[in-house]
Amino acid sequence: MKCGVLLFIIFGNVAAAQEIMLVDRDFKRPVSVTRQLTGTQLLNKRFPIYTTDLDSVIVIMEALSDFLNTGKTHQTAMQVLPVGHSRIMVNTKHAGSGNSYDIFVTTRSEDLGAVMELVKNGAGHRRALQQVQVFLDYLKNNRHIAAEQ
């Protein structure tokens, strides 16, 4: 029993930390990859996405883009879409003859959490679609950096 506990302590600490991709909140600078998220990184206009969650985030963003691209008026709703360590929150509201949207992405890493407002409060479907497409293109164009690590 003592040997099993000793092995658990030794090998439990040896397990590789998961890699985190730090996204530029303005989508201008390339991503960087780290194994340990710090508060300073978050203060430097960076947003964390676990590299293991990246493909799933891209799939959800593509589906969200398709949803917004229909041009249809959608029912008022709040959706929370879990993606690994992240959550994508979509709030749809009626605005005149169409919809307005609020879209947030959140990520937690140990005792730190970050929120990124992807689509500003009350944006129409065209603006929301544009912002989702910019984020999606940024993730796809920087995917190779995470893969190289």
Under CATH, what is the fold of the domain 16-148? Answer: Transcriptional Co-activator pc4; Chain A (2.30.31)
Give me the pLDDT at residue 14, please.
Answer: 40
- Please give the C-alpha separations between residue 26 and each of 11, 14, 30, 44, 131, in angstroms, as whole numbers: 40, 35, 10, 11, 11
Q: What is the pTM of this model?
A: 0.83
59 burial type by CB count under 10 A (0-12 exposed, 13-18 middle, 19+ buried): exposed
Terminus-to-terminus CA distance in the chain, angstroms? 38
State pLDDT tens for residues 53-111.
Answer: 999 999 999 999 998 888 777 788 899 999 999 999 999 888 777 888 999 999 998 88
Which residue do the tokens 């992405």 mark?
A: 105
Across 108-133, average pLDDT = 89
Q: How far apart are CA 134 and CA 78, in angstroms?
A: 22
Q: How far apart are CA 85 and CA 67, in angstroms?
A: 23
Q: Are 60 and 66 in contact (CB under 8 A)?
A: no
Which residue do the tokens 């398709």 mark?
A: 66
